[in-house]
A and B are shown apart, each in its own frame.
Chain A
């Protein structure tokens, strides 16, 4: 199998606090292919945003990132120097954040915020050293004739902002929410990256704008071949836009599958719970189905499946650490012991557990896809 564009193997991100270590991301592995939209879906606190920041190397103390590998085009980013990471950020892997109002710099023109990305990563022949940038920022302003500025204007046009020459000279507070998010997309595109990581890009926007932004992201894939890692809590968004999805819970992966497979053959009890709780237009239920209970404490996380306290199908194997099992469809993985070969299942419940269940768990955990908490 040819190598994937982005491969994350056994990522652990922990934050040290007064009360103990918070295991925000507790052993996840996934891959993203070229030209696909990969969704990471989960409720707040599931660790999805932290995953994105970990890949980009943007996790600060007291956070620690640990993984077997984070490979971009075959190179392990964990081995990269800070300089190398700086070239990758924005240049190869770009990121869009949730709240465009606070994520854009209020005292810089929108045009310059885009232009500087182009200038630093591309070959524009403009000086990017500290003194030149200071001069550009505080003394002369960015020359509207310069190539990087022209590129910024082009990009504003590409993302659908009318009157781009004028807009480029404006400040973020002069633009609407939807336009600001488009600016963020333009910023992300400026250096022609291969991957754009979008962290809840539409959560702060209203529904009509949301549709436009999502369309924008899709067209990036279609026109430019850019892969998008779309992080969201909204399953509807996933359904509309993603090619493959990973479901996260309490820092761990529950299920990974192509979108259609996930929605048609959801395997993990958590995924099932999520899908059932979405109200539908023709719903005639009296009560919404919700998943009872609360997310586990990420500091004193009990061993085994993090979902077991809320899961209707929990049984004794659930105390064992999770491993990945194949699911029903192609390219479908489920991390739930119900899918252990040695377990007999009737409907939603495990009825019999054969002796070799634990062995199977150990085999699967040794076989290249390690389980959370242990490194090889």
Chain B
């Protein structure tokens, strides 16, 4: 089908997703019981005060009007203002994005650094001690809730053996070392479950590849086993792994949200939950859209990676 067409399709698809998400969240948020105006003013506010505030916030207009107004706003990059603070939604989100992105990025890196080598070693030494150990560890990793891993890490490294800070986050601008110290534990809690799944996938994919005919051809050409494994086998084995890494990005993102709570980190996830509690519509909408933007972008990246390693996408079938 050609690389360009494929990517164009994926980009178009991404926009559709974001649009659907935005629309869905708009209506979903308004379906949440609870009046933001009332919540802002407190329980004993007068009815007039509430309705005045509602008027001011534009909440009394018909739904479709609100919707189109909002869509127009988004198109210009204006996500509105938070109901509860004075900031614009964008500013509010920007303030909390860095921790979330840091944890996600480091978490993903940790996952890949562990999963890929472990999976390969496991497959090559199938049923031997290396495989056994790696399999046990990966099974444990996928059986534990990410936030629980976080709690255990917290107890271990912040309490029993206090080498790392327990709570909070330090921006990278204030120094790489403190930033890393604060990010490493949450990133581990996020990366280990994700990595466990990737390791299993790498292992089974590598095992399949090892049995393929072209590996035998490579050996018949007189290449040594290391070369056969890494030059002929690896790329083939990675194809399904990349696919599933993309599919499971949702797991990664979910993990980050929970872990932010455990470590008391002021990130996107925590902001989202607090906003839902407070019925801060604009922030909820903004946060969901931003998260989905990030998510869709990450997926697109995975797609590009996929086209790079699978030549059948880039170069079509037989002539």
Binding site for B on A (CB under 8 A): 56, 58, 85-91, 94-95, 97, 99, 102-108, 116-117, 120-121, 130, 133-134, 137-138, 170-171, 173-176, 184, 187, 191
In the docked arrangement, what's the CA distance between A95 and B223, Å? 13
Q: Which of A58, A90, A103, A116 contacts B214 (CB 8 A)?
A: A103
B231 within 8 A of A: yes
In the complex, what residues of A have CB within 8 A of residue B214's CB?
A: 102-106
Residue in B222, B236, B239, B309 with the greatest tally of chain A CB atoms within 10 Å: B222
The verdict on A106 contacting B312 (CB below 8 Å), with A133-B227, A174-B317 known, is yes
Count B interface residues, CB 8 Å: 29
Residues A88 and B222 in contact, CB atoms below 8 Å apart:
yes
In the docked arrangement, what's the CA distance between A266 and B208, Å? 44
In the complex, what residues of A have CB within 8 A of residue B278's CB?
A: none
B301 within 8 A of A: no
B264 within 8 A of A: no
Residues A105 and B317 in contact, CB atoms below 8 Å apart:
no
Residues B221 and A90 in contact, CB atoms below 8 Å apart:
yes
Residues B223 and A120 in contact, CB atoms below 8 Å apart:
yes
The verdict on A102 contacting B213 (CB below 8 Å), with A130-B226, A173-B312 known, is yes
In the complex, what residues of A have CB within 8 A of residue B219's CB?
A: 58, 89
In the complex, what residues of A have CB within 8 A of residue B310's CB?
A: 107
How close is A167's CB to chain B, nearest CB, in angstroms?
A: 10
The verdict on A86 contacting B312 (CB below 8 Å), with A102-B214, A134-B230 known, is no
Residue in B223, B226, B310 with the greatest tally of chain A CB atoms within 10 Å: B223
In the docked arrangement, what's the CA distance between A97 and B219, Å? 12
B224 within 8 A of A: yes
In the docked arrangement, what's the CA distance between A134 and B235, Å? 11
In the complex, what residues of B have CB within 8 A of residue A171's CB?
A: 311-312, 315
In the complex, what residues of B have CB within 8 A of residue A97's CB?
A: 213, 216-217, 220
Residues A103 and B236 in contact, CB atoms below 8 Å apart:
no
A-B contact pairs, 25 of them (CB 8 A): A89-B219, A90-B223, A94-B220, A94-B221, A97-B213, A97-B216, A97-B220, A102-B214, A103-B213, A103-B217, A104-B214, A104-B217, A105-B232, A106-B214, A106-B312, A107-B311, A108-B232, A133-B231, A134-B230, A137-B235, A171-B312, A171-B315, A174-B316, A184-B217, A187-B221
In the docked arrangement, what's the CA distance between A335 and B214, Å? 37
Residues B222 and A91 in contact, CB atoms below 8 Å apart:
yes
B318 within 8 A of A: yes
Residue in A85, A88, A173 with the greatest tally of chain B CB atoms within 10 Å: A173
Besides A90-B221, A102-B214, A133-B227, 12 more A-B contacts (Cβ < 8 Å) are A89-B220, A97-B213, A97-B220, A102-B212, A102-B213, A105-B218, A106-B312, A107-B236, A130-B230, A171-B312, A174-B317, A174-B318
Q: Which of A58, A104, A137, A187 contacts B231 (CB 8 A)?
A: A137
In the complex, what residues of A have CB within 8 A of residue B174's CB?
A: none
In the docked arrangement, what's the CA distance between A87 and B219, Å? 11
Q: Which of B221, B231, B309 contacts A117 (CB 8 A)?
A: B221
Which residues B222-272 have CB closer than 8 A to chain A?
222-224, 226-227, 230-232, 235-236, 239
In the complex, what residues of B have CB within 8 A of residue A99's CB?
A: 213
The verdict on A105 contacting B236 (CB below 8 Å), with A86-B223, A187-B221 known, is yes
Residues A117 and B318 in contact, CB atoms below 8 Å apart:
no
In the docked arrangement, what's the CA distance between A88 and B223, Å? 10
Residues B312 and A89 in contact, CB atoms below 8 Å apart:
no
How close is A126's CB to chain B, nearest CB, in angstroms?
A: 14
Minimum-distance CB pairs A-B, first 5: A90-B222, A89-B222, A90-B221, A102-B213, A105-B214
Which residues B289-319 have CB closer than 8 A to chain A?
309-312, 315-319
Residues B315 and A107 in contact, CB atoms below 8 Å apart:
no
In the complex, what residues of A have CB within 8 A of residue B230's CB?
A: 130, 134
In the complex, what residues of A have CB within 8 A of residue B216's CB?
A: 58, 97, 103
How close is B230's CB to chain A, nearest CB, in angstroms?
A: 7
In the docked arrangement, what's the CA distance between A105 and B233, Å? 9
In the complex, what residues of A have CB within 8 A of residue B220's CB?
A: 56, 58, 89-90, 94-95, 97
- CB-defined interface of B186-222 with A at 8 Å, one 1/0 digit per residue? 0000000000000000000000000011101111111
In the docked arrangement, what's the CA distance between A97 and B227, Å? 20
In the complex, what residues of B have CB within 8 A of residue A85's CB?
A: 222
User: Which residue of chain A lies nearest to B226 when distances are taken between CB atoms in the complex?
Assistant: A130
User: Which residue of chain A lies nearest to B224 when distances are taken between CB atoms in the complex?
Assistant: A86
In the complex, what residues of B have CB within 8 A of residue A103's CB?
A: 213-214, 216-217
Q: Which of B221, B224, B235, B315 contacts A170 (CB 8 A)?
A: B315
How close is B240's CB to chain A, nearest CB, in angstroms?
A: 13
How close is A85's CB to chain B, nearest CB, in angstroms?
A: 8
User: Which residue of chain B lies nearest to A107 when distances are taken between CB atoms in the complex?
Assistant: B235
In the docked arrangement, what's the CA distance between A145 and B214, Å? 26
Residues A173 and B231 in contact, CB atoms below 8 Å apart:
no
In the complex, what residues of B have CB within 8 A of residue A184's CB?
A: 217
User: Which residue of chain B lies nearest to A191 when distances are taken between CB atoms in the complex?
Assistant: B222
In the docked arrangement, what's the CA distance between A85 and B220, Å? 10
In the docked arrangement, what's the CA distance between A106 and B214, Å? 8
Residues B222 and A117 in contact, CB atoms below 8 Å apart:
yes
User: Which residue of chain B lies nearest to A169 when distances are taken between CB atoms in the complex?
Assistant: B315
In the docked arrangement, what's the CA distance between A191 and B219, Å? 14
In the docked arrangement, what's the CA distance between A174 and B94, Å? 48
How close is A370's CB to chain B, nearest CB, in angstroms?
A: 29
In the complex, what residues of B have CB within 8 A of residue A87's CB?
A: 222
Q: Which of B221, B236, B239, B317 contacts A120 (CB 8 A)?
A: B221
In the docked arrangement, what's the CA distance between A170 and B315, Å? 8
In the complex, what residues of B have CB within 8 A of residue A105's CB?
A: 214, 217-218, 232, 236
User: Which residue of chain B lies nearest to A187 when distances are taken between CB atoms in the complex?
Assistant: B221
Residues A89 and B227 in contact, CB atoms below 8 Å apart:
no
